[in-house]
């Protein structure tokens, strides 16, 4: 992943107003984040209860920042994260919505998805998958899960931008 700074994070947010960008609070321990262990950087804003951010590297090496808002209602049953698709972890999965960038977002158009509440997706895809049969290549399966996570997260960010 690309190393991020406070300035690059704020400037990458495609669906946030100037006020929302200035109100952004970086995650605790931002200076010690291991970007090599992440497919994307996601965190909940500690000062704004339902606000969260995801900074996503695109396939062409750029970054897209997305401001997310958690829905007030939570899923009634155990939901599966749309990004990591992990079913074994007891992570809370919630619905996050993001207004679209540009004129569509100013008109109120949004897109949403189910995501691990505290953005544990990068850790989830690095866990060993269950071994379905003898000779199963767990390392290759783990790499495939990481690649698929990056594709799904990038796809979501691209949908926000392409309004």
Higher-confidence residue of 108 and 87: namely 108
pTM of the model as a whole: 0.87
> Can you tell me the distance from the alpha carbon of 136 to that of 19, in angstroms, rounded to the nearest whole number?
50
**How many other CB atoms sit within 10 Å of the CB of residue 101?**
21
Give the pLDDT confidence of 32-76 residue by residue, as tens digits.
888 888 999 999 999 988 999 999 988 788 899 999 999 998 777
Give the pLDDT confidence of 95-144 residue by residue, as tens digits.
999 999 999 988 999 999 999 999 999 998 988 777 778 888 888 988 99
> Can you tell me the distance from the alpha carbon of 33 to that of 117, in angstroms, rounded to the nearest whole number?
19
pLDDT of residue 59: 79
Task: Tell me how many degrees the CA angle 150-156-158 measures, rounded to the nearest 5.
Answer: 100
* All structural domains of the chain with their residue ranges: 6-161
pLDDT higher than 60, residue 1:
no
pLDDT of residue 4: 87
pLDDT of residue 114: 93
């Amino acid at each position: 992943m690309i190393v991020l700074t406070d300035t690059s994070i704020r400037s990458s947010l495609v669906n946030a107003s100037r006020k929302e960008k200035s109100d952004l609070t970086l995650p605790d321990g931002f200076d010690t984040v291991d970007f090599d262990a992440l497919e994307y950087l996601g965190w909940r804003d500690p000062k704004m209860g339902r606000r969260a951010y995801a900074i996503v590297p695109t396939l062409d090496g750029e970054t897209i920042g997305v401001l997310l808002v958690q829905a007030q209602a939570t899923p009634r049953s155990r939901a599966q994260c749309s990004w990591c698709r992990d079913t074994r972890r007891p992570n809370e999965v919630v619905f996050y919505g993001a207004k679209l960038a540009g004129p569509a977002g100013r008109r109120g158009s949004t897109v949403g998805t189910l995501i691990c509440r505290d953005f544990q997706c990068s850790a989830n895809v690095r866990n060993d998958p269950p071994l379905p049969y003898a000779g199963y290549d767990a390392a290759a399966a783990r790499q495939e899960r990481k690649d698929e996570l990056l594709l799904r997260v990038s796809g979501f960010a691209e949908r926000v931008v392409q309004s």
